[in-house]
Amino acid sequence: MSDNDKYFEKLLKTRRIELEKANELSEQSRDAVQLDQTSVGRVSRIDAIQRQEMSKAGEQRRLKEICRIQSALKRIVQDEYGDCLKCGEEIAVKRLEFDPAAPLCITCAKI
């Protein structure tokens, strides 16, 4: 494993931990909203439902990113990290610095 791979592996693992912690912290806000309108007003309930939906959407984005990170970590182990999955060319280091989980070079990503 090259020094570059070790560097990106550390970045990816750190980001995965951050995302997992964020999911844990937002777990309560994804709980079911009370339907009892005597304890919560209609507007407050609608607001709570909207917050719940936003929290669920955030969780889905985080889970998707965690999956991308897992795939990138697997490519590191298989010594395929940094190679475009579509064309096989090397992905630019600047692109990987911006998104360490990027599976495609900039050319293939544009297509």
Residue 110 lies in a domain: no
Residue 104 lies in a domain: no
Tell me the average confidence (pLDDT) per consecutive run of 10 residues in the chain, 111 residues long.
Answer: 92 96 77 55 75 89 97 97 96 96 96 83
pTM for the full predicted model: 0.79
What would the two tokens of residue 2 be? 């090259």
Residue 24 lies in a domain: yes
Which residues span the domain enclosing 11? 3-81
**Distance between CA atoms of 12 and 102, rounded to whole angstroms?**
11
Residue 96 lies in a domain: no
Residue 28 lies in a domain: yes
Overall domain count for the chain: 1
Q: At what angle do helices 3-25 and 42-77 cross, to 10 degrees?
A: 160
Q: Would you call 83 helix, strand, or coil by DSSP?
A: strand
Residue 18 lies in a domain: yes
At 32 the pLDDT is 58
Question: Which residue's entry shows tokens 């490519």?
Answer: 75
Residue 98 lies in a domain: no
Q: Which residues contact 42 (CB under 8 A, 6 or more apart)?
A: none
By C-alpha distance, which of 76, 67, 66 is closest to 96? 76
Residue 63 exposure: Cα atoms within 13 Å on the Cβ side: 9
